[in-house]
Amino acid sequence: MSFAPVLHSEWLKIRTLRSLVVGLAAVVLATAAFTALAGADSSGDADGDFDPLFTAFFGVNFGQIAAITFGAQAMSSEFQGGALRVSLTAVPRRGRWFAAKMTAVGVPALAVGLLTGCVALAVGKALLGDRADGLSWGEGLRAVVGCGIYLALMALFAAGLTALLRSGVTTLSILIPFLLLVSFVVGDMSGNAADLLPDRAGQVVLHETWDGLLGPWAGLAVTAVWTSAALLAGWWGVRRRDA
């Protein structure tokens, strides 16, 4: 079987599972909601360190939770009820199947991530008012594109880790506390070393200015390295273990 029909079948799985569709919608809704809260809370902020671009994209901190949940659920569904055995019977070449699965996860995550970036920027600028006047068109475009790439990478990171661990619950139990707690604690204690963590590196692209080790695109490249490592580990797990 060629790649195209395999990809089509994997896309049908995602499109027809309500929990996955809801998960993608939650990326946009959670980001917009928390961006609105951040924009309203900082509307009178007079701090010289105020970053209007990151304030507009603050909700991504929470939208990424929905993105990794989508990636983990999309992969963990294969380990329920013998679904993986059926998939590999239809597509014996495991590499082709895994590539199709990850493409079916990454492409919609990228599309929703770009939409999320547009919504976040619009909501943030509307609430910040004249405080966002200094943002250039180029900065906004960079953040929107970076938001889409970042959320897609995080969804794929979760999918790869789930393929290795064979459990979406375990994956989320590791990633959600890490993103909400550990990353910030490590960041406060380790200085610039925390800039190499996948979430902190990838989110540099959402800032108007930055003073860490990495620039916007270098930060996304670091996140991509983490994601690639997770995908390689997941591929190893699918290839070496029984369905």
pLDDT for 181 equals 78
Report how far residue 119's alpha carbon sits from residue 112's, in angstroms, rounded to the nearest whole number.
10
Extract the tokens encoding 215.
């620039």
CA distances to 29, 130, 142, 219 from 118, in Å: 12, 19, 11, 20
Name the residue type at position 44.
G
Structural domain boundaries, residue 129: 3-240
Q: Going by C-beta distance under 8 Å and a sequence separation of 6 or more, which residues neighbour residue 112?
A: 24, 27, 28, 67, 151
Q: What whole-number distance in Å separates Cα of residue 82 and Cα of residue 210? A: 47
- By residue count, the chain amounts to 243
pLDDT tens-digit series, residues 130-181: 887 788 889 999 999 999 999 999 999 999 999 999 999 999 999 999 888 7
As a whole number of angstroms, the distance between CA 24 and CA 27 comes to 5
* Token pair for 223: 């996140």
Nearest to 107 by CA among 142, 155, 166: 155
Q: Is 49 exposed, middle or buried (0-12, 13-18, 19+ CB in 10 A)?
A: exposed
- Euclidean distance between CA atoms 242 and 237, whole angstroms: 9
User: Residue written as tokens 């980001």?
Assistant: 31
| Cα(104)–Cα(12) distance, integer angstroms | 9
Mean per-residue pLDDT of the chain:
89
Instruction: Say how many domains are in the chain.
Output: 1
In Å, how far are 35, 46, 112, 157, 161 from 142, measured between CA atoms? 18, 25, 16, 22, 28
Predicted confidence (pLDDT) at residue 242 exceeds the cutoff of 80: no
In the chain, what's the furthest Cα-to-Cα distance? 62
Note the pTM of the prediction, 2 decimals.
0.93
3-state SS, residue 197: coil
Lowest mean per-residue pLDDT among 6-15, 42-51, 95-104? 42-51
- Once rounded to an integer, what is the mean pLDDT over residues 190-210? 85
Q: What is the DSSP letter of 211?
A: -
